[in-house]
């Protein structure tokens, strides 16, 4: 690859990886081209330039990967490994990710557009912590024993207990906004539980998953335990989702595709976890410091260029503070410098792709045409790359598309409210229910509001805080099931009840 414009920012490891002419699929411990020899390219969103040519898996490759995962689960060394050995391998992988943190952050930055510094401090750091957290669960998988009372066998005595068993072969389909981190949210609990995995990274950002694949080999996981099939949704994702020998699908992405995956899964009774879109409210009560609330709300929407499933994209401010808070956010937005991922002065990067930039700008136009007033930003930043100015809209009716639909970019709609009851109703007037934040120091109001909000996470005086032990997932159309925490481990386990008449 021609890396002349970014070469000087890259560490040796990242440069060596990006220099390769082709990136292959990982199937049964081997790096192989796609059966049809097809490839696709991935681009640097800051410039639009091609930075990698990647094998495009099709149904035949997915089938080979699933068979390899099946064999590793049913009969390979992995199936006989003691939990403590699985734990050791996952901890070893965490050490390797930590050792390669800089290269992973740089590759994530050029593939996704995000800042390399933030990728290291957030994406890679959380990946390491999460792997270590999940490694611990491998040795803490427990069933119950039980005194049976079988009513029609009064004379019999039973020993009864439950076993938690790995669900089997997992298909993990992940998006492009936190490529390495979300792949790990699937891999961590799957491997701790004893499952094997076929991972399908997003076609926009396949590189860190492939780098991770090499670290997985170096850590010593047996062949077939983790397979990686790069490709697009219809070509590689769909055959994985409908494959009859996959036992569980774990998906993060759009609600639209999540529904397709749910339908395909039910056909085979494949278990599924779906972490989908959001339109998360940020609720500012009038007792708090307007500057603190404004800085928090700006960060809630502009972090990661707004490409965050739980981004705070609907802002509700109590009437008397509305102008002050929205004015502050407008100032923050107008003052933000946009730049590539290695530009230390940049506060925001490009969106992931031309398609996403067009989609986000399309929503800003829809907002305008439906009567919204744009008070900051309002479209793309001229020049190369997929940059969109941080945008704030006001005077928009609650039923309009920019309030109801996920935009997945740096676009905030702000609305004033009068009472707590009113804001609770508005917060819930959405098909989504992933997250919400409340900004206030009035404990009793906060505690009365928390149970009213139909969302998987409620943050108070913060937004998008995540940590390995806290479950993350959605109510309503934001999904089914939870990533992270013990809840995630449970989703990769079946329960077997055992009755022994003694």
Partner from ligand NAI, Mg ion, none contacting 111, C-beta within 5 to 8 A by type? Mg ion
> In this complex, which beta carbon is closest to Mg ion, that of residue 76 or of residue 179?
179
Partner from ligand NAI, Mg ion, none contacting 42, C-beta within 5 to 8 A by type? Mg ion
Assess whether 275 carries a catalytic annotation: yes
CB neighbour list of residue 133: distance below 8 Å, 6 or more residues apart: 188, 468, 469
CB of 329 to ligand NAI, least distance (A): 22
For Cα atoms 256, 261, 263, give the angle at the middle one, nearest 5 degrees. Answer: 100
CB of 13 to Mg ion, least distance (A): 19
Local structure of residue 98 (DSSP, 8 states): H
Q: Which is catalytic among the residues 106, 108, 203, 275?
A: 275
Distances from the Cα of 287 to the Cα of 145, 246, 280, 435, angstroms: 52, 52, 21, 22
Residues 93-112 within binding reach of Mg ion (CB under 5 A): 111
Distances from the Cα of 367 to the Cα of 375, 412, 496, angstroms: 12, 11, 52
Convert residues 108-147 into a mask of x (bound to Mg ion by CB under 5 A) and - (unbound).
Answer: ---x------------------------------------
Long-range contacts of 287-290 (CB under 8 A, 24+ apart): 287/440, 287/441, 287/442, 287/445, 288/439, 288/440, 288/441, 288/461, 290/321, 290/324, 290/325, 290/328
CB of 204 to Mg ion, least distance (A): 5
Tell me how far apart the alpha carbons of residues 56 and 267 are, in angstroms, rounded to a whole number.
Answer: 26
Partner from ligand NAI, Mg ion, none contacting 24, C-beta within 5 to 8 A by type? none
Using an 8 Å Cβ cutoff, are 413 and 316 in contact? no
CB of 485 to ligand NAI, least distance (A): 18
The sheet carrying 493-501 orders its strands as 145-146, 158-166, 493-501
Distances from the Cα of 212 to the Cα of 73, 218, 220, 346, 394, angstroms: 20, 10, 13, 27, 43
Partner from ligand NAI, Mg ion, none contacting 233, C-beta within 5 to 8 A by type? ligand NAI
Partner from Mg ion, ligand NAI, none contacting 238, C-beta within 5 to 8 A by type? ligand NAI
> In this complex, which beta carbon is closest to ligand NAI, that of residue 86 or of residue 380?
380
Partner from Mg ion, ligand NAI, none contacting 265, C-beta within 5 to 8 A by type? none
CB of 70 to ligand NAI, least distance (A): 19
Residues constituting the chain: 502
> In this complex, which beta carbon is closest to ligand NAI, that of residue 158 or of residue 475?
475
Residue 57's SS3 state is: coil
> In this complex, which beta carbon is closest to ligand NAI, that of residue 182 or of residue 215?
182
CB of 352 to Mg ion, least distance (A): 7
Assess whether 309 carries a catalytic annotation: yes
Partner from Mg ion, ligand NAI, none contacting 56, C-beta within 5 to 8 A by type? none
Q: Which is catalytic among the residues 309, 310, 361, 406?
A: 309
Contacting residues toward ligand NAI, per CB under 6 A: 173-177, 200, 202-203, 232-234, 237-238, 241, 252-254, 257, 260-261, 276-277, 309, 356, 359, 406, 408
Partner from Mg ion, ligand NAI, none contacting 196, C-beta within 5 to 8 A by type? none
> In this complex, which beta carbon is closest to ligand NAI, that of residue 115 or of residue 307?
307
Using an 8 Å Cβ cutoff, are 501 and 156 in contact? yes
Radius of gyration from C-alpha coordinates of the chain:
24
Residue 371's SS3 state is: coil
Does residue 208 belong to the site contacting Mg ion (CB under 5 A)? no
From 18, 25, 42, 485, residue interacting with Mg ion (rule: CB under 5 A): 42
> In this complex, which beta carbon is closest to ligand NAI, that of residue 273 or of residue 440?
273
CB neighbour list of residue 267: distance below 8 Å, 6 or more residues apart: 242
Using an 8 Å Cβ cutoff, are 162 and 144 in contact? yes
CB of 408 to ligand NAI, least distance (A): 4
Three-state secondary structure of 170-232: EEEECCCCCHHHHHHHHHHHHHHHCCEEEEECCCCCCHHHHHHHHHHHHHCCCCCCEEECCCC
Task: Give bridge partners of residue 199 from the DSSP assignment.
Answer: 172, 228
> In this complex, which beta carbon is closest to ligand NAI, that of residue 356 or of residue 464?
356
Count the residues of the shown chain that bind Mg ion, applying the rule CB under 5 A: 4
With CB under 5 A as the contact rule, which of the stretches 41-49, 93-101, 269-277, 474-482 interacts with Mg ion? 41-49
Catalytic site positions: 275, 309
Residues that bind Mg ion (CB under 5 A): 42-43, 111, 204
């Amino acid at each position: 690859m021609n890396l002349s414009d970014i070469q000087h920012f890259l560490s040796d490891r990242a440069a060596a990886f990006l220099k390769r002419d082709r990136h292959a699929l990982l199937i049964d411990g081997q790096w192989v081209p796609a059966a049809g020899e097809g490839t696709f390219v991935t681009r640097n969103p800051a410039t639009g330039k091609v930075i990698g040519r990647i094998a495009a898996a099709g149904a035949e490759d997915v089938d080979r990967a699933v068979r390899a995962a099946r064999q590793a689960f049913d009969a390979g060394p992995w199936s006989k490994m003691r939990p403590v050995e699985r734990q050791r391998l996952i901890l070893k992988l965490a050490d390797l990710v930590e050792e390669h943190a800089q290269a992973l952050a740089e590759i994530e930055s050029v593939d996704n557009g995000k800042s390399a510094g933030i990728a290291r401090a957030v994406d890679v750091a959380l990946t390491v912590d999460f792997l270590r957290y999940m490694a611990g669960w491998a040795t803490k998988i427990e069933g119950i024993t039980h005194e049976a009372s079988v009513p029609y066998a009064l004379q019999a005595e039973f020993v009864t207990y439950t076993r938690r068993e790995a669900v089997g072969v997992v298909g993990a389909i992940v998006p492009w906004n936190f490529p390495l981190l979300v792949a790990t949210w699937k891999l961590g609990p799957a491997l701790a539980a004893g499952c094997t995995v076929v991972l399908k990274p997003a076609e926009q950002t396949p590189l860190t998953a492939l780098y991770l694949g090499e670290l997985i080999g170096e850590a010593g996981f047996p062949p077939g335990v983790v397979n990686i099939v790069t490709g697009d949704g219809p070509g590689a994702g769909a055959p994985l989702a409908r494959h009859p020998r996959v036992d569980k699908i774990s998906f993060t992405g759009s609600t639209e595709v999540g529904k397709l995956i749910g339908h395909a899964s039910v056909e085979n009774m494949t278990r599924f976890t779906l972490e989908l879109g959001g339109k998360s409210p940020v609720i500012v009560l009038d007792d708090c410091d307007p500057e603190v609330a404004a800085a928090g709300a700006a960060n809630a929407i502009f972090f990661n260029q707004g490409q965050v499933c739980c981004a705070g994209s609907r802002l509700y401010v109590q009437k008397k503070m509305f102008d002050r808070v929205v004015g502050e956010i407008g100032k923050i937005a107008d003052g933000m410098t946009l730049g590539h991922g290695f530009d230390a002065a940049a506060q925001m990067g490009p969106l992931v792709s031309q398609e996403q930039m067009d989609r986000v700008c399309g929503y800003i136009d829809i907002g305008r045409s439906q009567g919204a007033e744009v008070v900051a930003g309002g479209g793309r930043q001229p020049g190369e790359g997929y940059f969109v100015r941080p945008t704030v809209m006001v005077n928009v009716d609650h039923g309009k598309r920019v309030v109801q639909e996920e935009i997945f970019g740096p676009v905030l709609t702000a609305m004033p409210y009068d009472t707590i009851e009113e804001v609770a109703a508005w917060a819930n007037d959405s098909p989504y229910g992933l997250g919400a934040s409340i900004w206030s120091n009035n404990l009793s109001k906060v505690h009365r509001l928390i149970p009213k909000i139909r969302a998987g996470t409620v943050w108070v005086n913060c937004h998008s805080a995540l940590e390995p032990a806290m479950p993350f997932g959605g109510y309503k159309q934001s999904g089914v099931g939870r990533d992270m925490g013990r809840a995630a481990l449970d989703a990769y386990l079946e329960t077997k009840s055992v009755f022994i008449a003694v």
